[in-house]
Amino acid sequence: MAATVIWGNELASKFREEMKLELEGLKKEGIEPGLTVVIVGEDPASKSYVKAKSKACEQIGIRSKVIELPADTTEQELVTIVQSLNKDETVHGILVQLPLPKQIREEVIIETISPEKDVDGFHPTTIGKMLTGQDTFFPCTPFGIVKMVQSQNIPIEGKHVVVVGRSNIVGKPVGQLFLNENATVTYCHSRTKNLKEITRQADILIVAVGRIHMITAEYVKEGAVVIDVGVNRKDDGKLTGDVDFASVEPVASYITPVPKGVGPMTITMLLHNTIKAARLLEQKERIS
Ligand code: GUN
């Protein structure tokens, strides 16, 4: 039987319509959420991600600003800019696009961002809160994946979630979010032995490695939910995932496509986090 396709673009539109209304309400309360995105250098993929983020903000009524810095920006220069954004009361969310040029240590920049404005959910304080089950800003791609699974009323509790990939941005935090939802979580990565044997045990298989079509039907248990986080370019220039959709779709119960899958949900969760940051910061401002 063919799998149900979880269209991230449709779910994203639904969430964005809801947020549009929420923003109209906030505006009446005098709260106008604002996101500032910082990009260093000219990486084309990063530039297109940043453009998509600011366009999404505009479309629903979040103020957005992009700060473009040259590739030879020093770590100290970037630290100074982030510190001034921390102090700026019109900025509720700060996002520094990764990767950064090699003269800038990413961890230094991430730790400079105020945890109150950390809409990416990358600051160690934010991650610590997520790890201990506290409310905080959840990283956008993992949070979007949880929302996609929940949107189909797929049970998570007690299910075996297998994550392939262990990046700080996706693999590690997505496993943690599913653990917080009472799943049993296994992480696989480049040094994992017998990968296929493990992925075949997954009720929910999440793949975030960046290797075109590495997951074929033989890696997937009949009826599994398959989430593809991969963004790869084929020879013809078109985007495709880490999952071989044509091969896996007949075996899975649910599957996410690439494009129009996880990607649009990532940006949607960034919008969500920015609104959340604005609410919390404005609340704090009014109390003090
Ligand atoms: N580079 C790739 N994905 C992301 C993301 O979610 N946030 C930031 N800041 N950089 C990225």
* Percent of the chain residues topping a pLDDT of 90: 97
Q: Which two tokens stand for residue 274?
A: 């920015």
Predicted pLDDT at 83: 98
Q: Is the pLDDT of residue 168 over 80?
A: yes
Ligand 1, atom 8, lies closest to the CA of 97
Task: Give the Å distance between the CA of 92 and the centre of ligand 1.
Answer: 18
Global pTM value: 0.96
Contact 222/201 with Cβ under 8 angstroms? Answer: no
User: Per residue in 207-236, is it b (16+ CB within 10 Å) or e — as a string?
Assistant: bbbeebbbbeeebbbeebbbbbbbbbeeee
Predicted pLDDT at 273: 98
How far, CA to CA in Å, does 194 sit from each of 190, 200, 219, 252?
11, 10, 10, 21
Annotated catalytic residue within 118, 120, 203, 242: 120
Task: Give the Å distance between the CA of 99 and the centre of ligand 1.
Answer: 8
Q: Taking the CA atoms of the chain, what radius of gyration do you get in angstroms?
A: 19
Predicted pLDDT at 284: 86
Predicted pLDDT at 6: 98
Task: Give the Å distance between the CA of 288 and the centre of ligand 1.
Answer: 33
What is the average pLDDT across 261-280?
98
What is the average pLDDT across 178-199?
98
Q: Establish whether residue 169 lines the binding site of ligand 1, counting it when its CB lies within 6 angstroms of any ligand atom.
A: yes
For the chain, how far is it from start to end, CA to CA, in angstroms?
59
Q: Is the pLDDT of residue 1 over 80?
A: no
Predicted pLDDT at 288: 76
Structure-model confidence comparison of residues 96 and 285, the more confident one? 96
Residue 234 is a catalytic residue: no
Q: From CA 48, how far away is CA 66, in angstroms rounded?
A: 12
Where does the pLDDT of residue 206 fall: very low under 50, low under 70, confident under 90, or very high at 90 and above? very high
Predicted pLDDT at 286: 85
Q: Establish whether residue 109 lines the binding site of ligand 1, counting it when its CB lies within 6 angstroms of any ligand atom.
A: no
Residue 120 is a catalytic residue: yes
Predicted pLDDT at 276: 98
Q: Is the pLDDT of residue 176 over 80?
A: yes
What is the average pLDDT across 161-181?
98
Predicted pLDDT at 285: 82
Task: Give the Å distance between the CA of 110 and the centre of ligand 1.
Answer: 11
Q: Which two tokens stand for residue 57?
A: 């903000």
Contact 159/186 with Cβ under 8 angstroms? Answer: no
Q: Which of 112, 169, 268, 273 to mutate to test the pocket of ligand 1 (most atoms within 8 A of CB)?
A: 169
Where does the pLDDT of residue 209 fall: very low under 50, low under 70, confident under 90, or very high at 90 and above? very high
Q: Running DSSP on this structure, what letter comes out for residue 35?
A: E
Q: Is the pLDDT of residue 145 over 80?
A: yes
Predicted pLDDT at 226: 99
Distance of CA 228 to the CA centre of its chain: 13
DSSP, collapsed to helix, strand or coil, labels residue 159 as coil
> What rounded mean pLDDT belongs to the chain?
97
pLDDT in tens, 91-138: 999 999 999 999 999 999 999 999 999 999 999 999 999 999 999 999
What is the average pLDDT across 189-207?
98
Where does the pLDDT of residue 287 fall: very low under 50, low under 70, confident under 90, or very high at 90 and above? confident
